[in-house]
Structure 1
Amino acid sequence: MVTEMSVVVPIFNEEDVLPLFVGRLRPVLDRLGVPYEVVAVDDGSTDTSPILLQRFHRDWPELRIVRLRANAGHQAAMSAGLQLARGAWIASIDADLQDPPEVLADMLSMATSEQADVVYGVRNDRSSDTRFKRLTARAFYRTMRAVGTVDAPLDAGDFRLISRATADAVNALPEHGRVLRLVIPSLGFPSAEVHYRRDERAAGVSKYPLSKMIRLTLDSLTGFSQAPLRLATWFGLFGFVVASGLLLYALAVNITGHALPGWTSTVVVVAAFAGLQLLCLGILGEYVGRIYSAQQGRPTHYIAYDSLASDENPPSAP
C-alpha cells in the first residue's frame, strides 16, 4: 500500500508530553482517510521516551520508531526523518503541542487544492511565548530576510508540509549543518501558508535553550548569507581610513613641533583595532569551519534502530 502522508516528529526527552501528543495526533491522522505513517525520531533520549514509544507502537501500527545512536540535534533528527519518510506528502511537527496537530488536515487540503509543493505553518499569534522569545524570533526572521538570499516566510518554523519532490530535492543536497526552515524556502518551489495560533508547551520543558538558538542563528547566517564576510571587508576599509587619518595627524603634529598625545589614546586605538581584527577572524572562522565540516563528509547522525525494518523482518522462531 502506498503511503500518502508521513509525519516526522523529532523527539528528545519528551516523556511528559508524549501521551498528550499521541492522543491528539492519532485521531487527526485517522480522520484523513489516507494511508499514513508517523516517523518518530528518538534523538538519543535519556528518559523514558523510548519505552513510551514502544508501548504506543504496539497499539498503533502506523507509528514508526527511528532511534539515533546519540543526540544529533533537532535539525539533524528532522533530516533523518525526512530521509526515511515514504509518504507522497511529508509533514514535520514537534511533540510539545505548541503547533496544533489539527492544522495538518488544513495543510494537506491546501497543498492539493492549490498544487503547492510546500505549505508553511505560520504563527499569527505568539502571545503564549515569552517577550524575549518573541523579540528574538522577530529579530531572527527579519535579519535573515535583510541579509540573506532566502525569502523565508516570517514566523514560520519547522511546522510544514512538503511534497515528495521537495523532500527528494532536500535529501539530495550535500550541505552539512542544514537549517531546514531556510533550506526549503531556498528551493523556490510553489508554496502556500496556513496561519495558526501558537500554544504553550503542553508539558515538560523546552529543549531549545539560548545556546542552541545562537547556534541556529550562526548556522543560518553562515549558510545562507555572505553579509558577515562583507561586514569584515567593510571593517577593514574603515580601519584603513582611520589609520590613514591618524598617520596624517601624526605627521602634522610632527611638522608643527607639537608633542604627540599621551599613551591613553594610543592604547584605545590599538585595542579598538585589535577587537575589529578578532571579530573579522571569528567571522572568517565560522565560514572556514563549515567548509572543514563539509570536506570531512561525516554523517550528521547514525541510526541505531528502525521499527519498520524490525516489523518487516521479525526474528525467526527457534
Structure 2
Amino acid sequence: MSAVYDTGRGSIALSIVVPIFNEEEVLPVLVARLRPVLDGCREPYEVLAVDDGSTDRTPRLLEEIRSVWPQLRIVTLRRNSGHQAALTAGLRRALGAYVISMDADLQDPPEVIPDMLALARADGLDIVYAVRGDRSTDTGFKRRTAAAYYWLMRRLAGSFVPAQAGDFRLLSRPVVETLKTLPDQQQIYRLLIPWLGFPGGQVTYQREERAAGTTKYPLHKMVLLAWDSVTSFSSAPLRLATAIGAFSLVVCLGFLTLTLTVYAIGSPLPGWTSLITTVLFFGAVQLFCLGMLGEYVARIYAAVQGRPTYCVASDTAEEQQ
C-alpha cells in the first residue's frame, strides 16, 4: 500500500519542491517533462514551485501553468532570499508523505523520481540521494571544483557526507518533521540531512546540461556555498587560525634568536628590511585570524537576532482555504 500523509485537505503521497528564480525560459520544458513522470506514478502529489523573488516573467508563467495543472502549488517569497532559503520554505510547507527536492534547470532529470520512490519503499529508507554518476556534461573546471568540494566536506564535516550528491533527494515525512524542529537559520542541506543519521540509500543518474536559460550559481556563489559549508559544520578554520598563530610564534622566536646571535658576534645588521618584513608578516597573520574569528562571531550575531531567512508573501494552497 502506498504511504500517504493526511493533510486535512486530502492525502498526498508525494511532494516535489522546486526553488525557482528567474526561470522563464526553462519553465515550459520543466513542466513538459515533470508532469508526465508524476502522473505516471499514479500517486496523489503536489508540486511546490517556490518563487524566490523572480523579476522576469516567471510569476506570470507559473500562474498560467497552474490554471491547467491543479497539482501545482505556488509559494511566493517577498524577496530573493537564496536557494537554500527557498528550499527551506518549500520543505516546511510540503504536505507529502515523501518530499523530493530538485532544481528547475533539469540538470537533475525528473525521470529518476520513480526510482527514488520505489527504493525508499522497498528498503524502508527515510532518505534517498540522487548521486551524479556521470558529470561529463559539466566543464572540466566544474568537475574539478565539485570533486574538491566533496573531498573537503568529507574530511571536515565527516565521512557521512555522500559524494556527488546535491539537493536532488527524497525525504520521508519523519525527516521533514525533524528538519522543521530546527532553528530557522541558513541551512546547508547537503550536509545537514546526512548528519541527522536517518537510514539512506542512493540512486545514480547522468547529470544533464541545463535545459534553457543561464545558471543561477556562478563561481562566486559556489565559493560562498563552500565557505558556508565549512563554517557551518566545522571549527577547522578556527583551529587553522590557532595553528597559524603557533607557527607565527615559532617564526618570531627564530627571528629573535637570529637577531641576538648576530648582535652577540658583533655584526649587527641594518635591520630595517627584516623589521618591516616581520611587522607586515605578523600584521597579516593577525588580520587573517581576526577575520576567521569574525566569520563565526557574525553567525552567532545572526542567530541571536533571530530574523527569518525568508518571508512568504503568498501560498496558493492557503488562498484556496
**Taking structure 2 as the reference length, what is the TM-score of the superposition?**
0.95
Count of residues paired in the alignment: 312
| Counterpart secondary structure, 1:102 | helix
Deviating beyond 4 angstroms after TM superposition, the runs of 4 or more aligned structure 1 residues are none
The Cα offsets for residues 115-170 of structure 1, whole Å up to 9 and x where unpaired, read as 11100010011011111111111111100111223621111000000001111111
Mapping of residues 188-199 of structure 1, within 5 Å:
188-199=197-208
Q: CA deviation at 1:113?
A: 0.6
Match of 2:258 in 1: 249
For 1:206, the equivalent position in structure 2 comes to 215
Matched position secondary structure for 1:9: strand
Query: 1:254-274, CA deviations, whole angstroms, 9 ceiling, x for partnerless residues?
Result: 221111254223222222222
CA positional deviation for 1:224: 0.3
Q: Please give the per-residue CA displacement for 1:85-131, whole angstroms capped at 9, x wherever unaligned.
A: 00010000111010000101100000011111100010011011111
Q: Spell out the pairing of 1:59-74 with structure 2 (5 A cutoff).
A: 59-74=68-83
173-182 or 202-211: which moved more? 173-182
Q: Does 1:301 align with 2:310?
A: yes
Q: Which residue of 1 aligns with 2:91?
A: 82
Gaps of 5+ in 1: 313-318
CA deviation vs aligned residue, 1:212-259 (integer Å, no higher than 9, x gap): 111111110010011111000000110111111211221112221111
The reply on whether 1:223 has 2:223 as its aligned counterpart is no
TM-score by length of 1: 0.96
Distance 1:13 1:293 in 2: 28
User: Partners of 1:115 and 1:274 in 2: how far apart?
Assistant: 56
- Give the distance between the partners of 1:300 and 1:241, measured in 2 at CA: 43
Instruction: Report the more deviating stretch, 221-230 or 149-158.
Output: 149-158
Question: In the TM superposition, what are the counterparts of 1:72-221 in structure 2 within 5 Å?
Answer: 72-149=81-158, 151-174=160-183, 176-221=185-230
Amino acid corresponding to residue 178 of structure 2 in structure 1: A
Q: Separation in 2 of the partners of 1:171 and 1:268? A: 52
Q: What is residue 3 of structure 2 aligned with on the other side? A: none
For the 8 Å contact 2:157–2:191, the answer to whether it is kept is no
Query: Are the counterparts in 1 of residues 184 and 309 from structure 2 also a CA contact under 8 Å?
Result: no
User: Which amino acid counterpart does residue 94 of structure 1 have in structure 2?
Assistant: D
For residues 186-231 of structure 1, the C-alpha deviation after alignment (integer angstroms, 9 at most, x for no partner) is: 1011000000000000000001111211111111001001111100
Task: Provide the secondary structure at the position in 1 that maps to 2:75.
Answer: strand
Matched, 1:282 2:321: no
Task: Give 2:4's aligned residue.
Answer: none
Amino acid at match of 2:103: D
Tell me, yes or no, if structure 1 residue 8 matches structure 2 residue 36.
no
Classify the secondary structure of the residue corresponding to 1:64: strand
CA contact (8 A) 2:19 2:103 kept: yes
Q: Distance in 1 between matches of 2:161 and 2:213?
A: 30
Aligned CA RMSD, in angstroms, stands at 1.1
Equivalent pair of 1:8/1:39 in contact (CA under 8 Å): yes
Give the 3-state SS of the residue equivalent to 1:149 in structure 2.
coil
- C-alpha distance in structure 1 between counterparts of 2:269 and 2:183, whole Å: 57
Please report how far the alpha carbon of residue 180 of structure 1 lies from its aligned counterpart in structure 2 after TM superposition: 0.7
The yes-or-no answer on 1:259 pairing with 2:259 is no
